[in-house]
Chains A and B, each alone.
Chain A
Amino acid sequence: MRPCLLFVCLVLLLVSGCRQSAPPREVVVYVSVDQIHAEPVLKRFEQQTGIAVRAVYDVEAAKTTGLANRIVAERSRPQADLFWNGEFVQTLRLQAEGLLAPSSPASAASLPALMRDPQGMWFASGGRFRAILVNTAKLQPANRPSRIEDFLSPRWHGGDLAIALPLFGTSAAQAAALYATLGEQKAHDFYRDLSKRGVRVVDGNSVVRDLVAQGSAVAGFADSDDSCEAIASGAPVQLVLPDQDGPGTLLVPGTVAKLAGSPHPREADALIDFLLAPETEKMLIDSGFFQVSARPGGAVSPCLQGRTVKTMQVGLPQIAAELERSRLDLTAIFNR
């Protein structure tokens, strides 16, 4: 009797390992938006449409490149239908490699030209800012940095300032944007001087947030979502949107793109349309992942306290085009 029972259990386990019994309508999405924020959105889509969502979530440590590389590795046998990215650089990289497919979701109609690809290869959804997080207990209002270039000012000791290594994620996007707007030489000089000053270069934006929140650093470049989280937790910090009297603050929009060779193209279109809808954007702003809509006049996080933000006027493809050059340059500067 017992061997029979064991055999039945084994067969049940083997059967549970096969995915052939999946429901007929499903969509496979690779998600680099944080799981804690993305999951409720995908659940709502499942409830509304009855389409099962099979998601793979990126992890913090992979710094958004993990899933993009998985898509590249799977190019001969695509597994995923779409890529929902918390930023835009990796999406544009996939576009350059010919791994995206066009789509025309109805909810993308209200997106401005800078926030969508003319061929419909990708669309922006929500956004975060590259902000400066300041410790209010350590710096008086008159003494707080308000421009990125202030990080070179002798007013602060280099070791009191922190940045995330600008080779990954949104800090890499910020570096590429500076290379695009300032020009290669000026941007190179800026990062070289930061390095020379002994500004603390740490492994991620969340580390910068922790350093500033604890007072180990007086200011640092951070993402607005991390900054708002620190404010909400009661840390003595303030979010500064840099260069409002100059070129403006860099907006890092999230992006959604259909993948070439998508196994479930119709379901992918439905999910793209859902993810771009203003209601979904608002859901993500309310949960704290985004601070602002990709649409003019759209929802804004209360964390920004109703401020009107001047954003850096640089095209996303222009930033993505600078990424490789800036990465090579910064690798040398920061000795990676």
Chain B
Amino acid sequence: MNRWGRLATILSFALFLLICWAPVAALLAAALSLPFSRMDAAWLPGSRRLFLLLETLGYSAAVASLATLIGTAAALYCWRRSQTLARAARMAALLTAAIPPYLHALAWLPVSAALPGHGAGELTGWLSAIWVQALAMLPFCFGIVLFALDDLDPRGIEAARICATDLRLLVRILLPLLRPAIMAAASLALLLTLADHSVPSLFSRSTYAMELFEEFSASHNAGQTLISALPLMILGLLPLVPLARFWQKAAQRPSRSAAPLPPLQTGGITALLLFASAVFVLLPALALSAALAQHFDQPSLWLQAIAAGAPDLATSAGVAALAAIIACLPAVVLSRALIAHPRTLWWMVCTPLAMPSALIGAALIWIWNRDLPLPIYGTFWMLVLAALARFAPLTVLALAAWRSRMDPALLEASRVYASPARAFARVELPLLAPALLAGGMAVFVLSLAELGASLLVTPPGRGTIALRIYNYLHYGASAAVSALAFCLMATAAIVLLAAALLWKRRA
């Protein structure tokens, strides 16, 4: 590695540490500055908090189980069924992944309100929240399992089919082979659900993540909030273990060609798998369409809401675009390092994903609300920093996964005939372009709908569209919410479709 290469490595690590680890370090500093008595009081949860933690864990586990079950079934049905179906399923996964959980809630709030016992808040509220959050997690679970299915060796499956029925193949071979992927899907759903408080709060249920948000709102003490968050953070780190195993195994395997294999024919089970696919593809779309169409007869209210929300949408889009671009910068170098040292760097890259969003907001306030040469606090950049702190690791993972499948001979050959800088610009970067696009889009879509950290760092006069929708949702599913939700989803869909087209052209 030459001098410029070393400089790029140092700068990339520094940038990643600044955007993802500075909040963690700030929180640790704030926690260590607390008097011991307050640390003790915050760390030892009372019986109510302990119960809340268990409730949160139960809720997250239920969401992860449901989403993984339906996602796996849908993936098994769609696997090698037909090119059209596979494409449609992938596109549905892509588009529904862009719908934030609180928009699914918009569709299901009226259904939940009509259920007997609504407002009793106990079981009905939890069941509604589990269902809605599971719908939001489904595309991720479906995507991971389908990726793993596509990665299976077709020769082994073909051989097994000679001796056994498809049902036996499914139970004895496919499911055991898919176990790491299923665990990874469940872990991801668990991780994302533990840190989210938007859906349960809309169904009047409280979670530990919400408790942290309330605690910081009430005390404005980031250190104390971190100590209170430790039980949740420890729980959040556990799912990273199966995720790491799956990722490392997937990255080491060469990609397989899609050899022709007939789809699974498992009698009655096929009907169940088909049902799961219908739940995955049709139900969210139908529910959301119904919710949006409910207010189509009030066009003037739609227009008013869109006019009021347009500046917020512009702010959100600006934040998401900047976050996506900036997140790609360190990812190019960091992904290379992650391939070389997966065991060491996996935790550095992924631990920030386990941070509850409210904590990130609290940490950013702690860092930037002081006299600094860069007057970041109270500006639009706080929102960008919040989005980066939450989602920048995703670009590193996307690039690392892509790099592991790249032919190293291509890079070696380019370095023989060109300077390192030229080889990077003319060969490596174009080869990485699809992964940069995918990682950037993931950050864009998630940042566009980011809520937990933005709630705390929104600058005066610059709200985000997610914040406006969330505030309005507390008054029920109105025409204004429908209009804003439509704008948010349309923006995400347009950007995703444009990215998909770009990807296709490149391929």
Contact = CB atoms under 8 A, between A and B. Distances in A.
A56 B458 contact: yes
A109 interface: no
Interface string A53-83: 1111101111101100110111011011000
A234 B380 CA distance: 42
A10 interface: yes
A203 B204 contact: yes
Interface in B460-488: 460-463, 467-468, 470-472, 474-475, 480
Interface stretch (A94-102, A209-217, A250-258, A311-319): A209-217
Is the interface on chain A under 10, 10 to 19, 20 to 34, or 35 or more residues?
A: 35 or more
B322 interface: yes
B48 A336 contact: yes
B340 interface: no
Nearest to B379: A19
Interface string B325-359: 10000000000000000000000000000000000
A17 B380 contact: yes
A1 B120 CA distance: 61
B379 A207 contact: no
A322 interface: no
A13 interface: yes
Interface string B37-70: 0000000001110000000000000000000000
Interface residues of B, number: 51
Interface in B94-122: 117-121
B369 interface: yes
Contacts of B471: 34-36, 57, 59-60
B455 interface: yes
Contact of B120 (A55, A62, A65, A216): A216
Contact of A335 (B46, B314, B365, B455): B46
A146 interface: no
Contact of A19 (B117, B197, B459): B459
A201 to B, nearest CB: 10
A336 B371 CA distance: 36
Say what secondary structure dominates the interface of chain A: mixed
A53 B121 contact: no
A77 B371 contact: yes
A140 interface: no
Contacts of A210: 118-119, 121, 204
A18 interface: yes
Contacts of B379: 17-19
B384 A17 contact: yes
A54 B461 contact: yes
B458 A65 contact: no
Given A18-B379, A28-B460, A65-B218, A214 B213 contact: no
A74 B322 CA distance: 27
Contacts of A203: 204, 206
A17 B322 CA distance: 9
B401 interface: no
Interface string B366-389: 000111000001111100100000
A328 interface: no
Contacts of A74: 369
A206 interface: yes
Contact of B217 (A36, A65, A336): A65
Contacts of B455: 59, 61-62
B414 interface: no
Given A16-B380, A74-B369, A28 B121 contact: no
B220 A213 contact: no
Contacts of B470: 59
A39 interface: yes
A182 interface: no
A19 B315 CA distance: 12
A202 interface: yes
Given A62-B217, A69-B217, A211 B461 contact: no
A61 B201 contact: yes
Given A13-B318, A18-B379, A61 B121 contact: no
B290 interface: no
Contact of B119 (A34, A61, A76, A214): A214
A203 B121 CA distance: 10
B369 A211 contact: no
B381 A17 contact: yes
Interface string A226-260: 00000000000000000000000000000000000
B467 A59 contact: yes
Between B47, B371, B462, B474, the greatest number of chain A beta carbons within 10 A of the residue's beta carbon is seen for: B474
A334 B486 CA distance: 42
B371 A216 contact: no
Given A61-B210, A63-B214, A79-B378, A70 B121 contact: no
B321 interface: yes
Contacts of A62: 213-214, 217, 455
A261 to B, nearest CB: 14
B120 A214 contact: yes
Between A39, A61, A72, A207, the greatest number of chain B beta carbons within 10 A of the residue's beta carbon is seen for: A61
A77 B217 contact: no
Contact of B204 (A66, A80, A207): A207
Contacts of A73: 220, 365, 369
A57 B380 CA distance: 15
Nearest to A66: B217
A36 B218 contact: no
Contacts of A79: 377-378, 460
Contacts of A26: 461
A14 B377 CA distance: 16
B308 interface: yes
B48 A335 contact: yes
Contacts of A28: 460-461
Nearest to A56: B460
Contact of A55 (B210, B370, B461): B461
B213 A69 contact: no
B425 to A, nearest CB: 10
Contact of A53 (B48, B206, B458, B461): B461
A327 to B, nearest CB: 10
Given A36-B475, A61-B201, A73-B369, A207 B121 contact: yes
B219 interface: yes
Contacts of A57: 463, 467, 471
Contacts of A61: 197, 201, 210, 213-214, 217, 455
A80 B461 CA distance: 11
B380 A214 contact: no
B350 to A, nearest CB: 28
Nearest to A17: B380
Contacts of A35: 468, 471-472
A213 B119 contact: yes
A258 to B, nearest CB: 16
B474 A19 contact: no
A80 B365 CA distance: 16
A193 B86 CA distance: 62
**Closest 7 pairs between A and B when the two form their complex, measured CB to CB:** A54-B461, A214-B119, A210-B119, A69-B220, A54-B460, A66-B217, A62-B217
Interface of B: 46-48, 117-121, 197, 201, 204, 206, 210, 213-214, 217-220, 308, 314, 318, 321-322, 325, 365, 369-371, 377-381, 384, 455-456, 458-463, 467-468, 470-472, 474-475, 480
Given A73-B365, A336-B48, 7 more contacts: A13-B318, A18-B379, A36-B480, A61-B201, A61-B455, A70-B220, A204-B204
5 contacts: A19-B379, A19-B462, A56-B460, A73-B220, A77-B370
